[in-house]
Amino acid sequence: MALIYISAPYSLGDPIENVRKACEAGDKVLAMGHIAFIPHLSMLWHFYSMKSYDEWLRIDCAYLPRMDAVLRLPGKSKGADWECALAKKLGIKVYYNIGDIE
């Protein structure tokens, strides 16, 4: 069982649709026998207590060193690209296709 970070667009386009896609990917990861970490769910915290973009990246990326892998979903995203670059720097496997996850 691996801990897999879902990295995907959030603010570009429709954030609600982006969260739905991240949760859908998380469900697929869970069905594969792994545990998904979905940083997009912090949107609920943001409704309660707004944070800056940089603060959300800082919070979300504090989880990366604890992950076994990252799943990068399609779509343009400066934040997701940054997360994946950090994961690679940390030696964490980045998957670009859910079917490649073992």
Q: What is the band of 11 on the pLDDT scale with cuts at 50, 70, 90? A: confident
pTM for the structure as a whole:
0.93
Give the separation between CA 65 and CA 6, rounded to whole angstroms.
14
Q: Does 43 score more than 90 pLDDT? A: no
Domains of the chain by residue range: 3-8+13-91
Q: What is the band of 53 on the pLDDT scale with cuts at 50, 70, 90? A: confident
Residue 4: its pLDDT value, please?
Answer: 98
Q: Does 20 score more than 90 pLDDT? A: yes
CA dihedral 24, 17, 89, 53 (to 10 degrees): -140
Q: Let me know how many helices (H) and strands (E) the chain has, helices first.
A: 4, 4
Report which of residues 58 and 70 the model is more confident about: 70
Q: Does 69 score more than 90 pLDDT? A: yes
